[in-house]
Structure 1
Amino acid sequence: MNDTFSDSNQVRVVSDFSELINTSFQGIANAICWQRTLNGDFKEIVSKLQLKDNITEICTEDLLALQLSEKGQTAREIILNDLQLLTDSGASPSLNLLKNYQRDEEFDFISTDVYSFHVDRSPIATDTFLCTYYGAASDILPNKQAIQKILIPEIRKKLKELHSGQKDEFETFLKEYYFDLHYEAKPNANPINLGLGHIWRLAVDHPEQKVLPCIHRAPVENDGEYRLLLIC
């Protein structure tokens, strides 16, 4: 895994928020990273927040209500500033305290949950922003190191068996149920871990997109440890 990310042609590294939102995706670069080393005690924040469901959205009022040490206050100020920066840029950020995501156990031959490598799709021009403050961090994968699951012969065969409509409706069926968004890492693939504290901007599949969408996945959580994740 990369510590600086600069060795990957897939990643553009920037030094501030303005660069993060204003740098264009180009060529095979479909991930932009505002690389940061954060001060502050994010573990303290996690330990004092209340998990209400497996995924609990944390609002500004929840953060402000916490009694924190000086390092905990520093961490809180960073999170609040990140939320404000993204909101001011037109995004709709969400801060999540996360135990685990729901697993897709409907089919034994294909997984379509967020632990599977996948891309995001939108009908409008948008990007995905991610920042893990605490806990396990997500991975991205160069597009050439992955194959769409629907192109794997044994999976495609079973999907055709599952499809009950007309043959010419099969591709529409794959999109309607999001099967086409999921990928399998090729042998010897080298995922890039997104690390802690960095804000990432990932390319999304939308009509105006000029690069391939960024393939990513949620990590398997560390035992007994929650994640604190900003996402939009």
Structure 2
Amino acid sequence: MSNTFSDNSQIEVVSSFSELISTHFHEAMNAICWHRNLIGDFKEIVSKLQPEDNFAEIFPEDLLALQLSEEGSIARETILNDMQLLSDFGASPSLNLLTYYDRDEELDFISTDVYSYHVDRSPIGTDTFLCTYHGAASDIIANDQVEQKILIPEIREKLRKLHDGPEEEFEAFLKEYFFDLHYQPKPNAEPVNLGVGNLWRLAVDHPDQQALPCVHRAPVENDGECRLLLIC
């Protein structure tokens, strides 16, 4: 078990799916990890599912149609089982194969794409589930190690100019365009990489949440390597 996980007050490490979904977030603890050392050849699956563009959603029938080695079949069974567990729980898992996400390059002073540290928001009680089976894995960072970008004076001033409207509508503007969801790491911040094979549950910003939402980001992909990840 990784000491990076078990010694971190932000993270609760569990050993089963039932623990993953039944453990409660509280205060600074907003990330739960079902720590796993998966067996099987996930790279073989990726090699037979190369996306035509930079992104493709892979469905169970796509996996089942593949001719795989024994090791590849073991990996496929793991993915299908994870999707079934999450579906039975009431989640809507999506298996994604990607070479990169689209970048937000519209504004040069603030980024709002998934490579920027951000939190997820939902109007209803829900959580984010995430597992990387192949390729670079996402990072999380403790809430006390980041600053909301809209509170950084020079960024806030530029956003006011961009808004160019009544002051009483400024906060609504920040929410409407999701600027308030993004964060800047503080100096000496120490992100935690989620690793390959672990199934994570991350706290989301919603009205009933008892903990701070988990700040996370997508990784910069390794050159020439696709990511295969389950997310919902």
**If the TM-score is normalised by the length of the shorter chain, which range does it land in?**
over 0.9
The C-alpha deviation readout for 1:92-139, integer Å capped at 9, x for no partner, is: 000000110000000000000000000000000000000000000000
Quote the residue 1:190 is aligned against: 190
Quote the residue 1:174 is aligned against: 174
**Equivalent residue of 1:18, what SS?**
helix
What CA distance in whole angstroms lies between the structure 1 residues aligned with 2:61 and 2:170? 47
The CA deviation at 1:3 is 5.5
- In the alignment, structure 1 residue 150 sits paired with structure 2 residue 150: yes
Q: Which runs of 5+ in 1 are unaligned?
A: none
Quote the residue 2:35 is aligned against: 35
The CA deviation at 1:55 is 1.3
Quote the residue 1:118 is aligned against: 118
Q: What are the within-5 Å matches in structure 2 for residues 65-144 of structure 1?
A: 65-144=65-144
Quote the residue 1:225 is aligned against: 225
**Equivalent residue of 1:83, what SS?**
helix
**Equivalent residue of 2:57, what SS?**
strand
Length, aligned pairs only? 231
One-letter amino acid matched to 1:27: E
Q: Which stretches of structure 1, 4 residues or longer, exceed 2 Å deviation after superposition? A: none
TM-score normalised to structure 2 length: 0.98
What CA distance in whole angstroms lies between the structure 1 residues aligned with 2:120 and 2:206? 9
**Equivalent residue of 1:5, what SS?**
helix
One-letter amino acid matched to 2:83: L
The C-alpha deviation readout for 1:134-159, integer Å capped at 9, x for no partner, is: 00000000000000000001000100
Q: What are the within-5 Å matches in structure 2 for residues 12-27 of structure 1?
A: 12-27=12-27
TM-score normalised to structure 1 length: 0.98
One-letter amino acid matched to 2:104: D
What CA distance in whole angstroms lies between the structure 1 residues aligned with 2:216 and 2:35? 18
The CA deviation at 1:53 is 2.4
Confirm or deny: 8 A CA contact 2:137 2:195 kept in the other structure: yes
Confirm or deny: 8 A CA contact 2:4 2:192 kept in the other structure: no
Quote the residue 1:8 is aligned against: 8
What is the root-mean-square deviation in Å for CA atoms of aligned residues? 0.8
The CA deviation at 1:4 is 5.0
